[in-house]
Amino acid sequence: MTDSSPYERTLAALDALHAQDPRGVDVAGKRLPLELWHAGRMSAWLEALDEAPDARVRLAVRGQHLQRWQVPRDDYPAGRVGYLSWRRDQGRRAGETTARLMREAGYPEEDAERVAAMIRKQGLGRDAGTQAVEDCACLVFLENYFADFSRQVDHDHLIRIVQKTWKKMSPGAHELALWLPMSDAARGLVEEALAG
């Protein structure tokens, strides 16, 4: 039997941390740690976007939400500035931890830093790996969180959020998003946002 690869060791380490999430989600009658489930959805969308993604992109996508429960959104001020600060700090933390796990698994520093940069969303719109991380995050949001989110946010704000989300996505992600099953209300909001 051969030793596992740096990729396999890093993936296992990421998933071990994801599995520590105290929050859970019920999937097909089974309770899963929320973050582990979320990471799985991110990876599934990557496979839909790219037939043969690079191992570094796979790790960036898998590590994007790493240990997010440890720094709750409520620890930051309300409003856009607080949200953006929280998101930036979460990206930095997830990137640093993923890079450390990669180095421990045998990856060279340049690969570890490359993945950290993708998780921090550096080069969005210009870098294919960073774009893949963003596309997967947007698709997971639209697929799993948008319906509930749309009931908590006023209509005009929600339309702006959908428009901003759409602008960050690649054409390939747009195509996948249009095939997502949605309630009539949710689809109507998306159509209104895209028409605006």
Measured CA to CA, the distance from residue 96 to residue 91 in angstroms comes to 8
Would you kindly state where each structural domain of the chain is located, as residue ranges?
6-195
As a whole number, mean pLDDT of residues 84-112 equals: 96
pLDDT in tens, 13-52: 999 999 999 999 998 899 999 999 999 999 999 999 998 9
pLDDT in tens, 127-162: 999 999 999 999 999 988 887 887 888 888 888 888
Measured CA to CA, the distance from residue 42 to residue 59 in angstroms comes to 10
Under the banding of pLDDT at 50, 70 and 90, the label for residue 192 is confident
Question: What's the mean pLDDT when you consider all of the chain?
Answer: 92
The pLDDT assigned to 1 comes to 38
The pLDDT assigned to 184 comes to 83
Quote the pTM value. Answer: 0.91
The pLDDT assigned to 94 comes to 97
Measured between alpha carbons, how far is residue 116 from residues 26, 62, 95, 146, 153 in Å? 30, 12, 4, 27, 32
47 Cβ contact list (under 8 Å, min separation 6): 53
147 near 182, Cβ under 8 Å? yes
Residue-wise DSSP of 124-176: TTT-HHHHHHHHHHHHHIIIIIHHHHHTTS-HHHHHHHHHHHHHHS-HHHHHH
